[in-house]
A and B are shown apart, each in its own frame.
Chain A
Amino acid sequence: MKKRILATVLATVLTCSMVLSGCGGGSGTTDQPATNGTDDAATTTDTAPADTSGGDAAAPAANHDEALTLEMYNVAANYQGEQTGWFGKILKDKFNITINIIAPQVSGDGEGLYATRTASGNLGDMVLLDNGLLQECVESGLIADISAEIKNYPNLMKYWEQIEKFNKGIGDGTGIYGIPTEMNTNGPTAYMAETVSSMPRIPWDFYTELGRPELNTLDDLINVLAEMQKAHPENADGKKAYGMTLWKDWDGGGEQVTIENVNQLTKWYGQEVNGSVLIGSDNTIMPLTDKNGAYYKMLKFFYDANQAGIVDPDSATQEWGDACDKMQTKRTYLVWNNWMLGFTNNPERGEAGANYMGMPIKDMQVFQTSDYYYGSGRVFGIGSGVSDDVKARILEYYDWLASPEGATTQHIGTEGIIYTVGEDGKYTLTEDGYNRFNSEIMIPEDQGGGNWTDGNNQVNQWIVASVETNPVTGETYGSDLWASYLEKNNTKTAKEWRELYDGKQNEVEYLKDTGMMNIVPSLNLSLAVDTSDISMSRGSCRSIICDASWQAIFAKSEAEFDAIWDDMVTKVEGNGWADLVAYDTAKYQPVIDGRKAAQ
């Protein structure tokens, strides 16, 4: 009897292991069926809410009787799952739709997700893709042509010039497949913002404490941050604070083969990373591995910072959420992108002299493109698998996104909670509105409940830019340039900053006037799509460069840093680097030509 039990156990294990190993092999070759949002979800009907379509302009009203759950494949989102909260409620009430976001950035394996979903023939009911991916998906028939319908949607048609121009380069140039994002009507070379996209920004109060030493080179910046960390090793809650903190989960996105934190910093020294090449504000182009280039320089900067003991030791293992938390709680003393100021600054802190401020380093040459007149490089599209009814519902939603009401809701929030309308019709942020990015704002239950951040629009990309003028108020959609906002933000910090920097109004003015920045015209071209050989090389080089970059930052000595770099160069050269650089150089030539033509 006992023998038989053993035999049974053995047999079971054998069978199980066989089945499991079969699964292991199988998962590589059989495609996981993608859940089709529309087909399943469309059958769940609710009683329809009142039909209040679009509002501002006369778009054709779709039939909202049927509750829809629409899947959106979204390369920009930092959130995966259904849009809930106050923004979700607006969509539900207005259009009777729920958006289910599929986010390759969150899934942990974006490339794999994209490959399996595209191979299955349904990427999503809605897609938000990088230009190159859209091109590829159009060629594979995954994206619907909306040229017949789009003319009916007045808010989208406001950007017809840009939409048409972009779609000329897609497929055979006859259809309309993509709606570019962050468009405006201010003209192709305008730059409206008061901040540049990337420059060093440090807490003004701590800088003042140190006697505001002059920053001539990156070494000075490291010294200042080291002094700060020495003086304030912990934040107000007693948690460890660092000179700077990095994160790994944005590395190698899209066409990039490098780590994102370094990419963001190369702009301080006049170059932008594009795939395997660096494009300069002087319209030059050079391989990323060039030691005179900004990638090497800024990687070295992080290495030097780590040698000075001011890099968060968790940098290489933590994700953006952890890093963002550290920004909000003042546990990191250097931030760079202007949108990060939303996490570090508010009028109250500004009045206390404690906002983070842009610090020009004397030898800096900031790379800045003009506002995305033609679009930001990402596009909204509609999956080719949707029915005409669903297509109409999606277009109606897109049109609303581009409408004054939709754009205000996306860029600001809801009236009453986030902003109020003055007698002159202009908007003012409420106290909660000012603090919405750095503290928890609770939303009343009847407006969706939860906190504001969780309920905010998780699509994380806008058809209309924040610098576009809102026809309702005559001011921009984004609050940064509202008269009321500028008034309120004329804080102690801002005044002291201006005093130190020769009375210049803001960093953009300072950088322009001192010749530390020249604005590069922004274009929105659909560039060549990688062949399989190139994309193979890109993938191999990506993992080599990303790994080596992190190792280099945490190298023990200068010799080790150099050894890692040289080893990286040897390895990528064995993985088709030369071809990749040649390919990218040719690929970005139209960008250089376009910029030269526009200048």
Chain B
Amino acid sequence: MFKKIDKKKWYSIKLFLFIVPFLVLVVLFSYYPLYGWMYAFYDYKPPKPLSEAPFVGVKWFKFMVENPVRVEQLKQVLINTFVMSGITLSTSWIPMLFAVFMNELHRVRFRKFVQTVTTLPNFISWVLVYSVAYNIFNSDGMVNSLLVDKWHLIQEPILFLQDSSHVWLTQWLWLTWKNLGWAAIMYIAAISSIDEELFQAAKVDGATRMQQIRYITIPSLLPTFFVLLMMNIGNFLSNGMEQYYVFQNAFNKEYIQVLDLYVYTLSTVKGGYPLSVAVSMLKSVVSVILLVVANGISKLTRGESFL
């Protein structure tokens, strides 16, 4: 009797132990940091420790919205975030298509070459990407010296990096250049899991390559696509700051400053720490709302939810 329960219990303990490392990670990295939200309610300013900082209640939350200029700033930041995330989200089918077409390449060595070349940028840090960009696009960089000195197409160098127009588009291009190959990996794995018999049967029925793609490959990839899409929606507001941090300058800041960058910039200004925490709390709230909404839509349209 005793032994029996023990064995069953031991089995569930064993199962539990499997997930413990992940739980620890989640608690450590996703819940423990919430403790830091406390800073939003104090007049905290280094070097004085939090224990000596006066408690100010919701002062910093009020601060965010009490002044039209500041509201305007926050609005612009949110617009930038939504637009840039929106562009990324609405083009998130590109890696899928890329994977599909790459899969159609029959010369294996060429395919591997393409895959490596497109995946490599993912491992380069943004700082290095920027220094490459700087060397190519500054006033006596590669592009300008070709245009001005070599080909005499233009008189004055074009200041690409200081350009305040098309910021969203150029940033999206940089992001795509860096991420495309990496994002495609998931789809390549998914493609390889499609049953070969389906293709063979289609071939027998006389399906062309395009038809195979349309009726077999893409439909088989859609579940993966949707899972990734939902995950991206959850991260809608976290489009990272490294890229925008290195590319920002006085001329493009208005359009490049996304929420993460705004929070970072605020927090590193002396005395801006509590406010930046307050703003990032706002971000968490909006993220949760977005996720719930996306889940609802999924439930409505596909009949299944992912939460």
Contact = CB atoms under 8 A, between A and B. Distances in A.
A6 B26 contact: no
Contacts of B139: 312-314
Contacts of B269: 111, 535-536, 538-540, 542-543
Interface in A294-319: 312-314, 316-317
A142 B46 CA distance: 11
Interface string B28-57: 111011011101000111111100000000
A182 to B, nearest CB: 25
B261 to A, nearest CB: 11
B271 A6 contact: no
A22 B36 CA distance: 13
Contact of A111 (B68, B157, B268): B268
Contacts of B162: 316-317, 554
B67 A574 contact: yes
Contacts of A23: 29
A136 B251 CA distance: 34
Contacts of B68: 574
Interface stretch (B88-96, B97-105, B188-196, B292-300): B188-196
B251 to A, nearest CB: 6
B47 A119 contact: yes
Contact of A25 (B30, B224, B250, B264): B30
A140 B48 contact: yes
A407 B204 CA distance: 90
A530 interface: yes
B134 to A, nearest CB: 7
Interface residues of B, number: 68
Nearest to A571: B69
Chain B CB within 10 Å — which of A2, A17, A542 has the most?
Answer: A2
Given A136-B47, A573-B69, A28 B280 contact: yes
Interface string A111-134: 110111011000100000000000
Contacts of A30: 33, 36
B224 A6 contact: yes
Nearest to B253: A547
B271 A530 contact: yes
B186 A13 contact: yes
Contacts of B9: none
B224 to A, nearest CB: 7
Contacts of A543: 253, 265, 269
Contact of B134 (A6, A317, A538): A317
Nearest to B21: A15
A116 B68 CA distance: 31
Contact of B238 (A24, A535, A540, A549): A24
Contacts of A551: 250-251
A422 interface: no
A18 B30 contact: yes
A547 B272 contact: no
B276 interface: yes
A259 to B, nearest CB: 9
A425 interface: no
A115 B33 contact: no
Interface string B1-26: 00000000000000000000010011
Nearest to B37: A29
B26 A28 contact: no
Contact of B46 (A24, A114, A573): A114
A316 B69 contact: no
A163 interface: no
B29 A29 contact: no
Contacts of B37: 29
10 contacts: A5-B189, A140-B49, A248-B250, A317-B162, A530-B271, A535-B270, A536-B63, A538-B270, A539-B266, A570-B69
Interface of B: 22, 25-26, 28-30, 32-33, 35-37, 39, 43-49, 63, 67-70, 72-73, 134, 138-140, 156-157, 159, 161-162, 185-186, 189-190, 192-193, 224, 227, 231, 235, 238, 240, 249-251, 253, 260, 263-277, 280
Given A18-B25, A316-B162, 12 more contacts: A6-B193, A22-B29, A24-B238, A29-B36, A111-B269, A112-B268, A118-B47, A119-B49, A317-B161, A536-B275, A554-B251, A574-B72
